[in-house]
Structure 1
Amino acid sequence: MLDTASHPHLPNRPGVGYKPQHFNAIMQDAGCVEWLEIHAENYMGDGGRPLAQLRHLAERFPVSVHGVGLSIGGEGLLDPGHLARLKHLVDWLNPASFSEHLAWSTHDAHFLNDLLPLPYTAATLDRVCTHITQVQDTLGRQMLLENPSTYLAFAASEMPETEFLARIAQRTGCGLLLDVNNVFVSATNQQTSPRDYIDAFPLSAVQEIHLGGHDEDQDDQGAPLLIDSHGTQVGDPVWDLYHYTIGVGGRRPTLIEWDNDVPDWDVLEAEARRAAALLARVTA
C-alpha cells in the first residue's frame, strides 16, 4: 500500500505553475494563490538559484511536482537515471503530489521534445500500468496521471480514453489529474462532446485539475483545430466546462497553467481568482 499520510496535501483552492520571474511577487503577496506547481525536469540539478528559491517557496506553499520526461507510455524501459533524479527531488522536497502525462516521448535512446498520444489497447494498458507501478514503487508515493490533448484518434484503439484511464487507476492505485483544457481541445478536434467525456470520466479518482489556454486554427477542411499552447488566458468555453466539472465532481485543487509568453504576476493571479470564484460556488 502506498504511503500518503506523511505527505502534505493540496488545498481545494487555486494554484499556479511557478515561474522564476514571479518569485519576488509571490513572496511579497501571492493573492488568492495557495499552492504552486513546478516542472520536475527544471529542478533535477544539484544547486544554484532555482533550488534555493524553491526551498523558500516550499516553506510557505504546498508544492506539486509535474513531470514531462518519464515517457510513461513509451515502449522501452523507463530511464533509470531520470527516475533516480526524480526520486532525489521528491525525497528532499516532499511535495504534495507528483504527476505525469499519459503519453510517450522516447524511442530507443532518443528523446522527443513532445508528448505523443497512444492507442488505447490491452497491450498499451499493460505497459502503462507496469511503468506507473515502477514509478510508484521507486518514489514510495502515489502518482497522478494526466489525460492528454489529442488531435486524432487511433483506429487501433479498443476502448475510449475515459475507460482506459479508469482501468489504469483501478489496476495501479494511481490518482488522476484532469486537464479540462485538454478535454475541450480533444473534443473540439475530434468533434465529440466535452461534457459527455466529463460524464464518463472516473471523477472519484481525480485529485487535481488543470486549466490552461489554447490557440485556435483550422484544419485543411476548414474545421476548427485547437492547439494546446499554454500561452494564453483560459478560454470562456473551458471555464464553462470547468464549472460543469466541479459541479458534478466536487471541488479539487485547481492549477492555472501558463508556460509560454508568460504574463506579469497580476494577470496570472487574476486567472486564479476566477477559479477561486467558481470553486466558492460549489458546496463541499
Structure 2
Amino acid sequence: MTTPAHRTSAAAPSVGIGWRHPHYAALLEQQPALDFIEVHSENFFACGGAALAVLREGRGRYPVSLHGVGLSLGSVAGIDPWHLDQLARLAQAIDPVRVSDHASFARGPGLHAADLLPVPMNQAALGAMCANVNQVQDRLQRTIAVENLSVYVPWRDAEMSEPDFLNALAQRTGCQLLVDVNNIYVNALNAALRGEATDPLGVCMRWLDAVQPHHVAEMHLAGHLHCGDIVIDDHGSRVHESVWSLYRHAIGRWGAVPTLIEWDTDMPELQVLLDEAERARCTTQRCLDATALQAAAA
C-alpha cells in the first residue's frame, strides 16, 4: 500500500490534545511537548475578556486548531451570518493551523438544536452542504475541514455511503476532511446492536479504505461509553483498543496525519491526555517505520 505523496513515511507525527477549561492553567504552566492544541471555537466568540486572553496566551506557545460545533454546515436554511462573522473574527485574531466543523445540521427557520444532527446521504443534502462550505471558505479565505459524525438515529434510504458523501463534498468544494476514528467505531457498534452489522471492525476498515487519502487533514481519537443497548460517543475515557487498531489501519492508508486526543467529560488530570497523545505519537512512528522498512525491502 503506497503512502500519499504529500505525506511521506519520513514525516514526523503531529499530535495534539483538546485544550479545555480544567487544563488551561496546567498546560500554560507545564508547556508539554505538543504539536498543536484544539479549542471549541464558540467558547471564544466574545470580544475580549478572560477566555480570549487565555487563548491568546496559549496561541503564543502552540499552534491552535479551531474546532466548531455550531456552523450547521448541512442546514438547508444556510449559514447563520452572525456565527460566521464571529468565527471569521476569531480566525483572524488567532491565525489557527486549522478550522473545522461537522457534517451536520443544527438549525432551521426559527430553530437551533443543541446537537449535531445527521444529514441524509443524498444529492440534495450534498448540494446544500457544498453551498454552505463554499460560503464559509469564501468568508474565512481559508480551507476548512469537515468531520464525520457519531449517528444514533440514521436516515433511511441513503443514496450514497458516508465516505462517498464526504469524498464528493471535498472534491466539489476543495475542503478537507477531519476523520474521527472513534465516531466510525461507535456507529459500527450501534449498527451491530441494531442487527445491521456483524463485523464492526471490518465495517470501519472498509469505511477508512473508501476515503480518498489526499482529502484527510486530521484525525480525532476519543473514548466512548457502552450503555447496554446503545454506545455513546462521550469523550470521557481513554481511547479503546479497537479504535487504536483502526488508527493503525488509517495510518497505513494515509501516512502521518495530524492527530488529536479529545476528552470532554469526566476530565482527568492533564497527564492522562498527555499519555494518550504520546501513545498516538509512538503508534504513528512505529507504523511509519514499518512502512519505510517494507519500502526499503521491496
For residues 181 and 156 of structure 2, what CA distance do their matches in structure 1 show? 24
* Aligned residues of 2:34 and 2:62 also touching (Cα < 8 A): no
Q: Which residue type is aligned with residue 251 of structure 1?
A: A
Percent of aligned pairs with the same amino acid: 41
* Aligned residues of 1:32 and 1:276 also touching (Cα < 8 A): no
Q: Secondary structure at the match of 1:15?
A: strand
* More helix by percentage: 2
Q: Deviations over 1:155-195 (max 9, x none)?
A: 23101011000000000000000000011111121225111
Q: Deviations over 1:52-76 (max 9, x none)?
A: 1111111110100001001111120
Q: Deviations over 1:104-144 (max 9, x none)?
A: 11121221110011111111110000000000000000000
Matches within 5 A, 1:203-214: 203-214=213-224
For residues 58 and 195 of structure 1, what CA distance do their matches in structure 2 show? 35
- 1:201 equivalent to 2:206? Answer no
Task: After TM superposition, give the deviation of residue 21 of structure 1 in Å.
Answer: 2.4
Give the TM-score normalised by structure 1.
0.91
Give the TM-score normalised by structure 2.
0.87
For residues 139 and 160 of structure 1, what CA distance do their matches in structure 2 show? 29
Match of 1:7 in 2: none
Match of 1:115 in 2: 116
For residues 256 and 113 of structure 1, what CA distance do their matches in structure 2 show? 23
Matches within 5 A, 1:36-185: 36-185=37-186
For residues 57 and 236 of structure 1, what CA distance do their matches in structure 2 show? 31
Match of 1:232 in 2: 237
For residues 211 and 228 of structure 2, what CA distance do their matches in structure 1 show? 28
For residues 107 and 164 of structure 1, what CA distance do their matches in structure 2 show? 22
Q: 1:218 aligns with which of 224, 228, 231?
A: 228
Q: Which runs of 5+ in 2 are unaligned?
A: 1-11, 192-196, 293-298
For residues 181 and 279 of structure 1, what CA distance do their matches in structure 2 show? 17
Q: Which runs of 5+ in 1 are unaligned?
A: 1-10, 220-224
* Aligned residues of 2:22 and 2:267 also touching (Cα < 8 A): no
Q: 1:152 to 1:112 in 2, by over 3 A?
A: closer
Q: Secondary structure at the match of 2:62?
A: coil
Task: After TM superposition, give the deviation of residue 29 of structure 1 in Å.
Answer: 2.5
Q: Secondary structure at the match of 1:282?
A: helix
Q: Secondary structure at the match of 1:41?
A: helix
Match of 1:5 in 2: none
Task: After TM superposition, give the deviation of residue 282 of structure 1 in Å.
Answer: 2.7
* Aligned residues of 1:211 and 1:234 also touching (Cα < 8 A): yes
Q: 1:170 to 1:198 in 2, by over 3 A?
A: same
* Aligned residues of 1:105 and 1:114 also touching (Cα < 8 A): yes
Q: Secondary structure at the match of 1:182?
A: helix
Task: After TM superposition, give the deviation of residue 280 of structure 1 in Å.
Answer: 1.3
Q: Secondary structure at the match of 1:199?
A: helix
RMSD between superposed Cα atoms in Å = 1.4
Match of 1:241 in 2: 246
Q: Secondary structure at the match of 2:227?
A: strand
